[in-house]
Amino acid sequence: MNYGFVIDSRKCIGCHACTVACKSENEVPLGVNRTWVKYVERGKFPDVRRYFTVMRCNHCEEPPCVYICPVEALQQRDDGIVDFDSRRCIGCKACAQACPYNSVYIDPDTQTTAKCNYCAHRMELSLKPACEVICPQEAIVSGDLDDSESEISKLISTQQTSVRKAEKSTRPNVFYINGDGPSLNPLNIKTDGQYLWSEQSRGVGHFVNKGHSGNGHHKNGLASTNKHTETYNVYDSPSKGVVWGWEVPAYIWTKAISSGVILALFLITSFFSVSFSETVQWSVLGTSLVFLALTGIFLVKDLDRPDRFSSVMLRPQFKSWLVKGGYTISAYGLFLALWGASKLLNLSWLEPLALAGSAIIAVVIAVYTAFLFGSAKGRDFWQSPLLAFHMFVTSVVIGGAVMIILLGLTGANGEALSLLKWGLVGGLIINLLSMVIEVFNEHPSKQAEETAKLITNGELKQQFWFGSLVLGHLLPVVLLLSFSNMAALMAAAVLILIGAWITEKIWVKAPQLISLS
């Protein structure tokens, strides 16, 4: 048994009966939708045609929202329906990033995930979904795709159908007859962000308590204003905007400091036989622990239901990189504590082992977020194979910068400073090259390409060119190569930290500005 939908666009009249029925049946709050009708107009006046497309969860056979959820709040039933349990949801919004179809939202009343669940409570009573029952044109057909005698199977076998974003390999179970191409692929539509319902993108859903701004449409990239465009959006669901706000780049930045400073210390002491004073070692340990604690704070703060954070550890879904990351962070904290205890108790045999263990886990800490972002299939730019390498190099560079600041505050070590100086120069150059490749290299999809354009030529261009490249990379390299005094080295280190923060903000925000529906 495998339930799905057929949307017959030949019959849809855009009456919104399905949207109203869905809201009534499932008590969906204002400002968010499980089912909605999208209007797209094509042509030039007076030869213009309006197309209606019903949008909703696609109940994928390979649902990325289920795989990324850390607490099994989203589940795939045996009958193929992708359902949710709001009692488990922690409001991490990872499912919203994983869904390529913009189908998942945060309920403004419960601050938990919700979406179309095929009216599962009706299905259990052998009733059809509310949207299908109410449709006056019978444009919505539900049923068992595995039953060759069902109406839905006969339609799919006799009519030419299409699905949304087949390239995502999610195997969606919502099929469109005579589906309008631009309606199914938002990147084929130009808009200035002003259309019916667009003004609701502030103050509803996720924005009620979080305060993140933006309507998900950018000014200088794909979504440009052009009153003569031949295909444009005129009616749609309000955009969710930037659902991962400043807390996410903040946690990436703090964990990079926590892991990077340990890696810098370990690499210098292990491969160059440079010793540091106890004061420096304790300052490194303290810095790592403080920023690890900040990482946890930012992680919890980003949740819409922080009261349920313990569920990540107590009721985990181990396929999720959020869970893997949570356990890795816990293990990292334990090894740091073990290293501190061995130093405090003068256990000379345990101290190097604890430091080595901390360094090994620090590598995982530095890169695991790349795999989390990689499982967010809704954001193509995050699928870059260089992202893990980029995060690792960034962590090492940030760690080296923090080491320079700590040495400046606790007493300079000439040999270590020289190693850090040239290591930072090399790391900055490597990191700069990886960023350039990520942004300027040929991209595998139009969405990733438009994200890159948004970074280099869109509303984030000043932050990228001046904040990330000049302030965070080029200027520190010039300072490091031109001066050897502590003041210049510490200035370069501070600029590196500022530039890294700006870069993480750009990398997290930019893909979220590209519309998914």
Asked if residue 400 belongs to a domain, the reply is: yes
CB-count burial class (<10 Å; 0-12, 13-18, 19+) for 386: middle
Q: How many helices (H) and strands (E) does the chain have?
A: 19, 11
Look at residue 214 and give its three-state secondary structure.
coil
DSSP annotation of 472 reads I
Asked if residue 138 belongs to a domain, the reply is: yes
Q: CA quadruple 295, 298, 302, 303: dihedral positive or negative?
A: positive
Do 228 and 271 reside in the same domain of the chain? Answer: no
Asked if residue 177 belongs to a domain, the reply is: yes
Pairing of strands 82-84, 140-144: unpaired
pLDDT at 214 over 50: no
pLDDT at 391 over 70: yes
pLDDT at 76 over 70: yes
The residue segments making up the domain with residue 273 are: 247-513
Look at residue 5 and give its three-state secondary structure.
strand
Mean pLDDT of the chain: 89
The reported pTM is 0.89
**Residue 189 pLDDT level (bands cut at 50, 70, 90):** confident
Kindly state the tokens that stand for 275. Answer: 């010793």
pLDDT of 113: 94
CB 426 within 8 A of CB 435: no
DSSP letters, 107-173, are -TTT-SEE---TTHHHHTTT---HHHHH-TT--EEEEETT-TTSHHHHHHHHS-EE-S-GGG----S
Do 147 and 179 reside in the same domain of the chain? Answer: yes
Which helix H or strand E contains 336, and what residues bound it? helix 321-344
Question: In this predicted model, which residue has the larger pLDDT, 188 or 499?
Answer: 499
**Residue 233 pLDDT level (bands cut at 50, 70, 90):** confident
Q: What is the pLDDT of residues 422-437, one digit of tens each?
A: 999 999 999 999 999 9
Pairing of strands 47-56, 74-76: unpaired
CATH number at residue 202: 3.30.70.20
Q: What is the pLDDT of residues 272-318, one digit of tens each?
A: 988 899 999 999 999 999 999 999 999 999 999 999 999 999 999 99
Phi, psi torsion values for 101, nearest 5 degrees: -110, 5
Task: From 212, 235, 258, give the residue that closes a domain.
Answer: 235
**Residue 451 pLDDT level (bands cut at 50, 70, 90):** very high
Do 152 and 203 reside in the same domain of the chain? Answer: yes
Do 99 and 61 reside in the same domain of the chain? Answer: yes
Do 223 and 348 reside in the same domain of the chain? Answer: no
Read off the amino acid at residue 309. Answer: F
Do 182 and 101 reside in the same domain of the chain? Answer: yes
Euclidean distance between the first and the last CA atom of the chain, given in angstroms as a whole number: 28
Asked if residue 241 belongs to a domain, the reply is: no
Strands (E), 174-328: 174-177, 231-235
Distance between CA atoms of 61 and 52, rounded to whole angstroms?
A: 25
Do 224 and 300 reside in the same domain of the chain? Answer: no
Residues in the chain: 517
**Residue 449 pLDDT level (bands cut at 50, 70, 90):** very high
pLDDT at 37 over 90: yes
Asked if residue 240 belongs to a domain, the reply is: no
- Looking at residues 30-38, what average pLDDT do you find? 90
Read off the amino acid at residue 287. Answer: T
Distance between CA atoms of 139 and 404, rounded to whole angstroms?
A: 66
Q: What is the pLDDT of residues 351-360, one digit of tens each?
A: 999 999 999 9
pLDDT at 269 over 70: yes
Question: In this predicted model, which residue has the larger pLDDT, 197 or 258?
Answer: 258
pLDDT of 112: 95
Distance between CA atoms of 446 and 453, rounded to whole angstroms?
A: 10
pLDDT of 117: 95
CATH number at residue 413: 1.20.1630.10
pLDDT of 227: 43
Task: From 235, 259, 278, give the residue that closes a domain.
Answer: 235
Q: CA quadruple 279, 281, 282, 288: dihedral positive or negative?
A: positive
- HSE, side-chain direction, 13 A CA sphere, residue 36: 23
- Looking at residues 404-420, what average pLDDT do you find? 88
Asked if residue 373 belongs to a domain, the reply is: yes
Task: From 235, 264, 296, give the residue that closes a domain.
Answer: 235
Distance between CA atoms of 126 and 22, rounded to whole angstroms?
A: 17
Distance between CA atoms of 188 and 38, rounded to whole angstroms?
A: 14
Looking at the structure of the chain, the number of domains it has is 2
Do 257 and 210 reside in the same domain of the chain? Answer: no
Q: What is the dihedral of CA 402, 404, 410, 416, to 10 degrees?
A: 130
pLDDT at 271 over 70: yes
Asked if residue 438 belongs to a domain, the reply is: yes
Do 75 and 153 reside in the same domain of the chain? Answer: yes
pLDDT at 61 over 60: yes
Do 133 and 198 reside in the same domain of the chain? Answer: yes
Do 256 and 229 reside in the same domain of the chain? Answer: no
Question: In this predicted model, which residue has the larger pLDDT, 375 or 46?
Answer: 375
pLDDT of 193: 55
Alpha carbon of residue 310 to chain centroid: 21
- Residue 459: count other Cβ atoms within 10 Å of its Cβ: 16
What percent of the chain is predicted at pLDDT more than 90? 77
Asked if residue 242 belongs to a domain, the reply is: no
pLDDT of 327: 95
pLDDT of 190: 64
What percent of the chain is predicted at pLDDT more than 70? 92
- Looking at residues 439-444, what average pLDDT do you find? 91
Do 363 and 501 reside in the same domain of the chain? Answer: yes
- Looking at residues 494-517, what average pLDDT do you find? 94
- Looking at residues 180-202, what average pLDDT do you find? 66
pLDDT of 395: 97
